[in-house]
């Protein structure tokens, strides 16, 4: 029986204290405790639609603003994906999804290549808020994730107006793409899907 693909990562600084537990081959079980309600809502969507088992406990200096907390959760989650994937042998490696949400249409693509690269083509969020959530932090979260997960991550908004719909559509599309890219492909028989023979740095 294959070993469980899971990770537990802690990040403790003077600004934030974060613990993430991740199971890649889960059923969408979620335990979320952050001081940023909209971030918790998005993490719920990520676990639910990606079928990841996910526990996040976060505390941070939100009396200043939510930036440090949101970014550091992204860093910690990215590291959890990197550790849970191990040497990345046998994984599909690539994942992509185009999803609608009412008036919004988003495409995302991911490559667990071992090389961090990030493209964010999502105009119109700067200066927008969803409740107490600064929409500019959506970019900071996924940029941090891509760095620590060591993946290529591209996010493209085709069109959309409601910032809540735009961000939620991005999170759900990424849930589907991450599930696809991290999934084990039995046809690879445990081989690393790379001409270099490695997907880790």
Mean pLDDT of 103-126: 96
Which of these, 3, 33, 40, lies nearest to 19 by C-alpha position?
Answer: 33
Single pTM value for the model? 0.94
Q: What is the DSSP string of 172-199?
A: HHHHHHHHHHHSB-GGGTT--SSTTS-S
Say whether pLDDT at 186 is over 90.
no
Q: Is there a contact between 121 and 156 (Cβ–Cβ < 8 Å)?
A: yes
Give residue 1's pLDDT band: very low, low, confident or very high (50, 70, 90): very low
- Sequence-distant (6+) residues with CB within 8 A of 45 are 168, 171, 172, 175
**Is CATH 3.40.50.720 the classification given to domain 6-188?**
no
Q: 47-82: per-residue pLDDT in tens?
A: 999 999 999 999 999 998 999 999 999 999 999 999
Q: For the purposes of burial, counting CB atoms within 10 Å of the CB of 121, is it exposed (0-12), middle (13-18) or buried (19 or more)?
A: exposed
Average pLDDT over residues 138-152: 98
Specify the pairing of strand 30-33 against strand 6-12.
unpaired
Q: For residues 4 and 107, give the distance between their C-alpha atoms in angstroms, rounded to a whole number.
A: 30
| Tokens, residue 131 | 């409740």
Which pLDDT belongs to residue 3?
65
SS3 20: strand
- Domain edges within the chain: 6-188
Burial of 30 (0-12, 13-18, 19+ CB in 10 A): middle
């Amino acid at each position: 029986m294959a070993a469980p693909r899971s990770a537990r990562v802690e990040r403790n600084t003077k600004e934030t204290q974060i613990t993430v537990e991740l199971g890649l081959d889960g059923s969408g079980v979620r335990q979320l405790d952050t001081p940023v309600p909209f971030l918790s809502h998005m993490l719920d969507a990520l676990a639910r639609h990606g079928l990841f088992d996910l526990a996040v406990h976060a505390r941070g200096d939100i009396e200043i603003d939510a930036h440090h907390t949101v970014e550091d959760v992204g860093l910690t989650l990215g590291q959890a994906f990197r550790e849970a994937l191990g040497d990345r042998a046998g994984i599909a490696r690539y994942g992509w999804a185009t999803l609608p949400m009412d008036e919004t249409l988003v495409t995302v693509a991911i490559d667990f290549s071992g090389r961090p690269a990030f493209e964010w083509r999502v105009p119109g969020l700067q200066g927008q808020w969803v409740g107490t959530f600064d929409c500019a932090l959506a970019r900071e979260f996924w940029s941090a994730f891509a760095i620590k997960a060591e993946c290529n991550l591209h996010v493209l908004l085709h069109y959309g107006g409601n910032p809540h719909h735009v961000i939620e559509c991005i999170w759900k599309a990424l849930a589907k793409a991450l599930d696809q890219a991290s999934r084990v492909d039995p046809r690879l028989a445990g081989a690393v899907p790379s001409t270099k023979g490695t997907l880790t740095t």
